[in-house]
Amino acid sequence: MKAYRPPTLGAVMNAFPPAASTEEAIRHFAARLSFETDVSDVAAQMTSHDIVVIDTRNTQSWDQGHIPGALHLPTAEIAERAASLVPTGATVVVYCWGPGCNGATKAALEFAKLGHPVKEMIGGFEYWAREGLPVETAPGTVTRRSPDPLTVPVDAGSCAC
């Protein structure tokens, strides 16, 4: 019996599929931008746009830390409570713990079912905190830690993307 041998780098590189057509790329990336936003954009939009930021995690997670100004609405309660918390026509931005959690995706689906324009915040609360943005805890304390140098430009303040 022959032993398994992984493909060589050359074979893997040759298997790399070609890029999509520019028309397909435009549709794809435009669609992604209409469904997703990043933490820097959320931070900028919270003071100047008509968005409602929703933390979809459980109460213990909310108490541990959340985005100042966000509303706490666990996913299981969206259908029941969204009408009393979210103004009609406001764009909803949902987040959960981080990129390894699909809680925000589930919450976005629930808001979409209710007819709300909705976006998912890429990276969730983890990316918010790692970028050094303000975090509020249960007692109302707002803290700001140093940004993780692997996630945000340390000296520039913005990646200008």
Residue 95 near residue 67 (C-beta atoms within 8 A)? yes
Residues 6+ apart with CB under 8 A from 53: 42, 46, 67, 69, 70, 71, 93, 94, 95, 121
Q: Which residues pair with 71 in a beta bridge?
A: 54
From the list 96, 101, 159, 161, the catalytic residue is: 96
Active site residue 96: yes
3-state class of 159 per DSSP?
coil
Residue 99 near residue 127 (C-beta atoms within 8 A)? yes
Q: Where are the alpha helices (DSSP H) in 15-58?
A: 22-35, 39-48
Instruction: List residues with catalytic annotation.
Output: 96
